[in-house]
Structure 1
Amino acid sequence: MPGVRSDQPVILGISGSERAGGNTDLALDYAGELVRGRGATFRTVHLRDRRISPCSPCGDCNSRTLPCALPDDMPGIVEEMKRADGIIYAVPVHGFGLAHLMQIFIERAGVGFLRFDRPLANKVGGIIVTGRRYSDASVHNQLVDNLLLNRMILVGSGFPALLRNTTGKPGLNDPEGIDALERMAHRMIDMALLLRKYHADTGEPVLPLDDRNERVERSRSLS
């Protein structure tokens, strides 16, 4: 990838906000500053700028053996995720739940692409949730479940990066949330560097990649 140092981690930020320049963008931009400050590369995907179709009524997700064939930008985003050392999901709370862009994205990514061989296994994961006051922890928990499903490494960073803003004007004015975001970003880089060093020293991943795929095992049990 042009402009990327092969000896430094690459972190991909994925924003599920419809609002350009809003709280979620500000928080993800700040995470990018922290990552670049450590000498790593930070790239951003704004889902609002990509064409992502919702799951169709085809109903063959549990039986198909090839990635989803809907014609949109999902394959390119998934490839970016595969190339990254770490991924940060950043999303606002909408209607007491996960904003719809991110919901559509994780559904399509999971059943249409990632479930076949779990290509995100052993990548470092981080989560930023922005909101006014309510349900941010519930949204965070949903994304934690998604990272664990994909066998990613969720670094312990103290409190989750939940950034609240009750002013109605975009801004990073939650000191505790900012502190959690900073610790998360730095620990993601620390872990990514550790994983790279181990691989460079041994030629092997820190964690085994040959764990059974529950989808394959289920298919065998039904055959």
Structure 2
Amino acid sequence: MKVYAINGSPRKNKNTATLLQRVLDGVVQVAKDKEIETEIINLYDLNYTGCRSCFACKRLEGKSYGKCAVKDDIQEILEKLSQADGIIFGSPVYWDNISGQLHSFLERLLFPYLVYDKNLSTIAPKRMPTAFIYTMGSPEEIMENLNYKLTFSKFESFIERIFTKPQVMYCNDTYQFDDYSKYESTFFSEEAKATHRKVQFPFDSQKAFELGARLIK
């Protein structure tokens, strides 16, 4: 079995990446009696674009029917994910949405599997379990007031149509800088952020671990 975590953050050891690793830890813990491999894929290490609207993935009897025809850094990754036993997507929230890097990646991953028939069917090779983790500097009340969940639900609905309904987790009010004094950040209270992280992030890490333990059964 192979479970992948897709890191849509430019940082490899901060909030999003840490929680993705905890999900994978949970997967491994619950699958002790199975041969299982896990891998984090850092999207910001890769050179690619979003969908180019070439429609090669829709051409009947074409050699790329049902798969992305663009040859770049994610071509082999898309192939690996087609046979995954679980996928966890993770992203920081930028401008009320997922990162542009992850948005482009999801275009390339999901669109080839969507069939333009009357039922908008899916031809994904596997219907593997999925999850989505969002990390953000916004407190939970701002997330609710700005209706982030409605925005997030759009890609979640596509993931559900193509694969399965993702389990979802939010990590709010994250600590953003190593040293707030070096940045113009008076909108935030460094003390409050630090206190929140000390209390809440271990709890969020445990929630991520438990999500992983539920993902593969």
Are 1:146 and 2:145 matched, yes or no? no
Matched residue, 2:50: 54
Shift of 1:120: 5.1
Code of the aligned partner of 1:50: L
Task: Give me the whole-angstrom Cα distance separating, in 2, the residues matched to 1:26 and 1:37.
Answer: 16
Q: Which moved more, 1:83-92 or 1:118-127?
A: 118-127
1:166-209 deviation per Cα after TM superposition (whole angstroms, max 9, x unaligned): 4324768435533432332111122xxxxxxxxxxxxxxxxxxx
1:64 to 33, 56, 59: 59
Q: Which moved more, 1:18-27 or 1:91-100?
A: 18-27
Matched residue, 2:107: 107
Matched residue, 2:172: 164
The answer as to whether partners of 1:12 and 1:87 remain within 8 angstroms in 2 is yes
Q: Secondary structure at the match of 2:132?
A: strand
Q: Where does the alignment leave 5 or more consecutive residues of structure 1 unmatched?
A: 1-8, 191-223
Matched residue, 1:206: none
Task: Give me the whole-angstrom Cα distance separating, in 1, the residues matched to 2:12 and 2:106.
Answer: 20
Shift of 1:31: 1.5
The answer as to whether partners of 2:27 and 2:212 remain within 8 angstroms in 1 is yes
The answer as to whether partners of 1:74 and 1:109 remain within 8 angstroms in 2 is no
The answer as to whether partners of 1:129 and 1:163 remain within 8 angstroms in 2 is yes
Q: Which moved more, 1:176-185 or 1:41-50?
A: 176-185
How do residues 15-26 of structure 1 correspond to structure 2 at under 5 angstroms? 15-26=7-18
Relative distance call for 1:123 and 1:34 in structure 2 (3 A) is: same
Matched residue, 1:188: 215
Task: Give me the whole-angstrom Cα distance separating, in 2, the residues matched to 1:120 and 1:128.
Answer: 24
Relative distance call for 1:84 and 1:166 in structure 2 (3 A) is: closer
Higher relative contact order (Cα pairs below 8 Å, separated by 6+ residues): 2
Code of the aligned partner of 2:173: N
Q: Where does the alignment leave 5 or more consecutive residues of structure 2 unmatched?
A: 116-121, 179-196
Are 1:34 and 2:26 matched, yes or no? yes
Percent of aligned pairs with the same residue?
A: 20
Q: Which moved more, 1:11-20 or 1:130-139?
A: 130-139
Q: Secondary structure at the match of 1:13?
A: strand
Relative distance call for 1:147 and 1:54 in structure 2 (3 A) is: closer
The answer as to whether partners of 1:11 and 1:41 remain within 8 angstroms in 2 is yes
Code of the aligned partner of 1:35: V
Q: Secondary structure at the match of 1:174?
A: helix
- In the superposition, the TM-score normalised over structure 1's length comes to 0.67
Matched residue, 1:13: 5
Q: Secondary structure at the match of 2:216?
A: helix
Shift of 1:108: 1.6
- Two-structure CA RMSD over aligned residues (Å): 2.7
- In the superposition, the TM-score normalised over structure 2's length comes to 0.69
Shift of 1:88: 0.5
Shift of 1:151: 3.4
Are 1:174 and 2:201 matched, yes or no? yes
Task: Give me the whole-angstrom Cα distance separating, in 2, the residues matched to 1:92 and 1:185.
Answer: 19
